[in-house]
Amino acid sequence: MMHFVEGSIAVAQAVRLCRPDVVSAYPITPQTHIVEALAEMVADCALDAEYITVESEFSALSACLGAVAAGSRAYSATTSQGLFLMFEVCFNLAGMRLPMVMTVANRAVSAPISIWNDQQDSISLRDSGWLQFYAEDNQEAADLHYLAYKVAEDHQVLLPAMVCFDGFILTHTYEPVDMPTQEEVDAYLPRFVPLAKLDAQDPISFGMLATPDYYMEFRYANDQALQKSKEKIRAAGKEFMAQFGRDYSAFVEGYALEDAETVLVALGSLCGTVKEAIDEMRAAGKKVGLLKIRVYRPFPVEELAAALKGAKRVAVLDKNISLGSKGAVALEVKDALYGSGIPVLDYIVGLGGRDLRKRDIARIVELAEKGEGDLFYGLREGVA
């Protein structure tokens, strides 16, 4: 059924339909509406879950870790500084192979403090062992939660997952969202069946000490689980398509790529603006296309290389910066295209919520055509 709803509420409704047993989160802008809505659902008996109130994000994710270790389906949500306070626990969850889903309402990080959107927070956790999905719109943001739980809890994966969507731009924006029924979600997403769990009658331990003789093998196992998740994501996406009519089996999604000479690469809500800019540029005769990355971890090397093989140049729009180097996405795109001869130009954009308009995207295409890249786009002169 179609609902005209705020992005945060759409996500909260999707989480409710996933039937989590435990929800634990700490409110932080712009994530707060999600967990407020879930708390209200629990209080109104619309969601049969334990809602754990805590004093910090570190405690929130720690509570989820304990819940999953005990065999429960768990959920949390956070953003920015809150995600960074969870940093240690993020690595613990992945290292212990404890699957859960957490929504990240992407927001810039301090200092200076900013409550506006960029993707520095979740991108900084790219090496933590979590699956990472990025939504372009609120329909995708809601749908990716069903898929994320299905993949994360698969016994050949058993890893936590982040569903990332842009703070304010999506979290506080009203859009039409097709919400499935509980029966439809139950048919797609079965109850969580843990491979192992804490049980006083059959005691085991999670996350014990690993000496140098064994630690590397644990990290290898984490990496292999992420690699195996690729086929599980594709299968879950195809199954979602068959049941709901929306296809999430591809890690990347092209727009006007067939004859594109310049291809822009981006994550999240920025892709909608890029598509409109491309339509205008194509009307003026420019051969421009977009490659949207939906799944950032595991990184889609093969799919990305195949989609970009016909491009003359690639321009990556990075709403993050790996300080002292380049944007994190551009670095991985360059690696994926190594040896292809296709130049990859990086443009750091939108940090701290700075708008990137259609005219800016057209200007970036012009710069890429000249070979001018690897820069902070729109930097104010005399300020830095």
CA distance 325 to 374: 10
**Are the CB atoms for 64 and 75 separated by under 8 Å?**
yes
Question: Which one, of 161, 311, 320, lies nearest residue 229 by Cα?
Answer: 161
Q: What is the 3-state secondary structure (H, E, C) of 226-249?
A: HHHHHHHHHHHHHHHHHHHCCCCC
**Euclidean distance between CA atoms 308 and 199, whole angstroms:** 50
Low-confidence ranges of the chain (pLDDT < 50): none
Using alpha carbons only, how large is the chain's radius of gyration in Å? Answer: 21
Collect contacts of 38-42 with beta carbons under 8 A, ≥24 apart: 38/12, 38/75, 41/12, 41/16
Alpha carbon distance 280, 15 (integer Å): 37
The full set of domains in the chain, from first to last, is 2-244 (3.40.50.970), 252-376 (3.40.50.920)
pTM: 0.97
Compute how many other C-beta atoms are within 10 angstroms of the C-beta atom of residue 309. Answer: 10
For residue 381, the model assigns a pLDDT of 79
Tokens linked to 252:
């990347």
Q: What is the pLDDT of residues 142-180, one digit of tens each?
A: 999 999 999 999 999 999 999 999 999 999 999 999 999
Can you give the pLDDT at residue 384? 63
CB atoms within 10 A of CB 287: 16
What's the Cα-to-Cα distance from 181 to each of 13, 14, 43, 222, 228, rounded to whole Å? Answer: 10, 10, 21, 34, 30
Structure confidence at residue 49 (pLDDT): 98
Strand, helix or coil for residue 163: strand
Q: Name the residue among 260, 269, 283 with its Cα closest to residue 166.
A: 269
